[in-house]
Amino acid sequence: MQNFWRLAPTAVSVLLTLLYPLAIWLGHGRVEPRLLALLLVLAAATRLPTLKLKRASRWWLAAALLLAAAAIWNNALLPLKLYPVLVNLGMLALFGYSLYAPPSIIERMARLSDPALPDYAIAYTRRVTQVWCGFFVINGALALVTALWASAALWSLYNGVVAYVLMGCLFAGEYLVRMLVKRRHARLALQALVQQGGQHV
């Protein structure tokens, strides 16, 4: 039960992030932006339990509240449409900083299931982290373009559907590449063992 309450804010935050574009699209023209901004305030509130643990969460919270304040003050939709840009910038900063101060984010995730990663796996996880950084740059740029120049419907379609489909494709593609890399290195390791055995005969 204790684990549930510890994970609940993160689960709510993820759910709000997933549903946010749809909510903005449905509310556009029906609900004033200053009221829709409460969704952003709620999303920010779910990060409060992490403020004492993560400095990045403080910056994210400040930026999210700034967007919400701009939407409320001007009763404008644009600040709310910039939220996906903020999410991508936050993820880019998180992944990018881990490249500057190893281990990389992907390596940390990989070590949860395999603490003794071989050298090739460490190099691979670093490369995957770089790929995700590239994804966040491109996805963030497209989120910005749709926020500034696209209709609310197109913005919602990209940020609420297309972006997640692309993310899923990247996950699937990385998994396939990972399996190929593992098989290749397993084959090389086996060949090395066979050669060593032949030398001792």
- Which pLDDT tens digit goes with each residue over 60-115? 888 989 999 999 999 999 999 999 999 999 999 999 999 999 999 999 999 998 88
pTM of the full predicted structure? 0.87
Of 44, 77, 110, which residue sits at a domain end? 77
Instruction: Reply yes or no: is the peptide bond before residue 103 cis, omega within 30 of 0.
Output: yes
Name every residue whose Cβ is closer than 8 Å to that of residue 162 and which is 6 or more positions away in sequence: none
DSSP label at residue 158 = I
Instruction: Reply yes or no: is the peptide bond before residue 79 cis, omega within 30 of 0.
Output: no
User: 107 and 56, same structural domain?
Assistant: no
**How many domains, in total, are found in the chain?**
2
Range of the domain at 196: 82-201
User: 121 and 67, same structural domain?
Assistant: no
Of 22, 55, 77, which residue sits at a domain end? 77
pLDDT band of residue 200 (cuts 50, 70, 90) is: low
User: 172 and 98, same structural domain?
Assistant: yes
